[in-house]
Amino acid sequence: MTRPKTLVTRGLVEAPLARLRAGTDATVNLADRALSRAELLAGVRDVEGLLCMVTDRIDAELLDAAPRLRVVSNHAVGYDNVDVAAATERGIWVTNTPDVLTEDTADLAFALLLAVSRRVVEGDAFARSGEWGGWEPLQMLGSSVAGATLGLVGFGRIGQAVARRAAAFGMRVLYWNRTRLPAGEEAALGVAYAPLNELLSASRFVSVHVAGAPETRHLIDAAALQLIGPGGFLINTARGAVVDERALVSALQEGRIAGAGLDVYENEPQLTPGLADCRNAVLTPHLGSSTVETRTAMGDLAVDNLLAVLAGQPPLHAVNPEVAGRLRR
C-alpha cells in the first residue's frame, strides 16, 4: 500500500519526526536554512500533508501548486503565515499547536523584562571586559520590578501566564484585550482592565501578547511609545509587526523610552537599522518556545494533527473547522 507523501520544511525534534516517517513517505528539510520559495513550491507538488514553520509563506500560489494537499500543519500557535481563507476554499485543513508553548513563552517574556530593567546583558559584557574596577554606588543603575505596574497588551493564555509570574513580584497588573474578562476571573488573576492608552500611560513595563493580524500591525507605534514614556520598558514576544520597529529605534536612541526586550522582529531575521546598536535593548533570536520540552510537544502535536487528517479524521486543533462541512458536500 502506498503511503501518503508529506513535506516537513525544517528539521524537528527526533521523536515526533520518527513517528511521521513511520506513518508517511516524508521528505524533511534537514539543511540549516529555510527552503527557498522555489524549493517550497517544488516540494509540495505531490504531497498530501505539509508540516510547515511560521516562517513559511503558505498562500494561494503555494496551495495551487499542491493539488493533492489535504492538510497544512503549522508548527506554531500563530498562523498569520497561512492564507486560511484560501485553504478553506480549497478544502484544506489548517492546524496549529496551541497551549504547549504558553509557559515557556511567558518565562522568556519575564526573562526579557528582568534583563532589560536590571541591565543584565550590559553588566555581563562589562564584567567580562576586564574594565570593571569593583562595586560603585552609582554603577549601572537599573529599574525596580517589584511593586511596579505591568501592562499586558493582549490577555490570552500567554498574557495570563505572565500575569501569574508578575504576582510573585508583587506587581500591579493591568491588561487590555479585545474581550474583557468577567469580574470574577479578573479578581482571581489579580488584574484590572484598562483601555489601551490608559494602560500604556500607567505602566512602567508593557508586554505585548496579541496575535499577528492586519488589525494589530503597528499597534505599538510612535504615539504608543510616547505614552509609555522615558521611564518605561517595552517587551515583545508576540509578533514583530505589532511594533513599529523604526519608531522603536528612534525612541530608544532618543531616550523616549527606557528600554526594550524583543524576541520577535518586524522583518525577521533582519533587524531595523540601528536596533542592534541600542544598548538599552535586549534582543533574543525568537526563543519563546525554544526548550527541548516545548519543541518536542509542538512537534508531537503538529504530527498528530497531520496524521489525523491523512487517516480521514478531523485534526486535534483545526484553525478552520468549517472545512469539515466543505469536505462532506
Please give the positions annotated as active site.
Answer: 239, 268, 286
C-alpha distance across the termini of the chain, in Å: 27
What is the distance between the alpha carbons of residues 107 and 88, in angstroms, rounded to a whole number? Answer: 35
Chain centre to alpha carbon of residue 136: 39
Query: Could you count the other beta carbons within 10 Å of the beta carbon of residue 24?
Result: 22
Which residues neighbour 251 within 8 Å (Cβ) at sequence distance 6 or greater? 222, 225, 226, 257
The answer to whether 122 and 142 are in contact (CB under 8 A) is: no
What is the distance between the alpha carbons of residues 152 and 203, in angstroms, rounded to a whole number? Answer: 9
Q: Which of 227, 269, 277, 270 is nearest to 252 (CA)?
A: 277
**DSSP letters spanning 256-287:** SSSEEEES--TBTTBPPTTGGG-TTEEE-SS-
Q: HSE of 240 in the Cβ direction (CA atoms, 13 Å)?
A: 19
Q: Based on the number of CB atoms within 10 Å of its own CB, is 34 exposed (0-12), middle (13-18) or buried (19 or more)?
A: middle
What is the distance between the alpha carbons of residues 104 and 47, in angstroms, rounded to a whole number? Answer: 33
What is the distance between the alpha carbons of residues 202 and 271, in angstroms, rounded to a whole number? Answer: 29
What is the distance between the alpha carbons of residues 285 and 279, in angstroms, rounded to a whole number? Answer: 16
Q: Which cell numbers in the block locate residue 255?
A: 531616550
Continuous segment of H or E residues that includes residue 101: none
